Amino acid sequence: MTVVRIPDEDRTLTEFVAISRYLGEIGIEYERWEAAMQLSASASAEEVLAAYAPEIERLKAQGGYASADVIDVKPQTPGLEAMLAKFNQEHWHDEDEVRFIVRGRGLFHVHPRQSPVVAIEVEAGDLIRVPRGTWHWFDLCADREIQAIRLFQNTSGWTPQYTHSAVDRNYQPVCFGPSYFPPGHAEVA
Ligand SMILES: [Fe+2]
């Protein structure tokens, strides 16, 4: 379940229309890609890119993206802690951050200049585009597993630029999807 929370206003959005409208107002593009969800959990990067080729080509044409790759993270991924530590502090990029979630889940926090921080919990089937310059940070959920397609205008622009605001410390990196709750626990609506 995709969940958008605005912690400072104690609001939670779970409906696609409400989520895409709210995110659109703060400049975040959000889509659901329902096709090709039948990919196996062990699909290779090549298989993933092939399965979503039409959507990837459409995004490339729309956003000027030059390349796409697949990132595959599991709890046993070497260097995982160091990788996560690079992105869980507030930062921005000179590139759009475009992610399509193939498997697993993750938690983006976006800090708009004129409105409260938004926590966006993404899952398989979600496409999110965080425009260049947007303040944001990213955490994995408790299961520490995600496979995602990334699109780049120019990979050299994708280095994180830190704000050093420490705003990220005010928000818990907690996911509300099925991976967070033990079996039998009701999800937060
Ligand atoms: Fe980022």
- Domains contained in the chain, number: 1
CA-CA distance, 167 to 111, in Å (whole number)?
9
- Asked if residue 180 belongs to a domain, the reply is no
**pTM score, whole prediction:** 0.90
What's the CA-to-centroid distance between 160 and ligand 1, angstroms? 6
Alpha-carbon distance of 114 to 37, in angstroms, equals: 36
Question: How far does the centroid of ligand 1 lie from the alpha carbon of residue 78, in Å?
Answer: 20
Q: Does residue 89 belong to any structural domain of this protein?
A: yes
Asked, for residue 172, whether it belongs to a domain, the answer is no
Predicted local distance difference test score (pLDDT) of residue 159: 87
- Residue whose entry in the numeric block shows the structure tokens 């409208």: 21
137: CA distance to ligand 1 center in Å?
Answer: 6
CA of 27 to the centre of ligand 1 (A): 15
Secondary structure E strands in 36-88: 67-73
The three-state secondary structure class of 162 is strand
CA of 184 to the centre of ligand 1 (A): 34
Q: Is the residue at 7 inside a domain? A: yes
Render pLDDT for 22-58 as a digit per residue (tens, 0 to 9). Answer: 999 999 999 998 765 578 888 899 999 999 999 999 9
Question: Residue 68 is part of a domain; what is its CATH number?
Answer: 2.60.120.10
Q: Ligand 1: distance of its center to the CA of 136 in Å?
A: 6
Per-residue model confidence as pLDDT tens for the chain (189 residues): 799 999 999 999 999 999 999 999 999 999 998 765 578 888 899 999 999 999 999 999 999 999 999 999 999 999 999 999 999 999 999 999 999 999 999 999 999 999 999 999 999 999 999 999 999 999 999 999 999 999 998 877 678 999 999 999 999 998 987 644 444 444 443
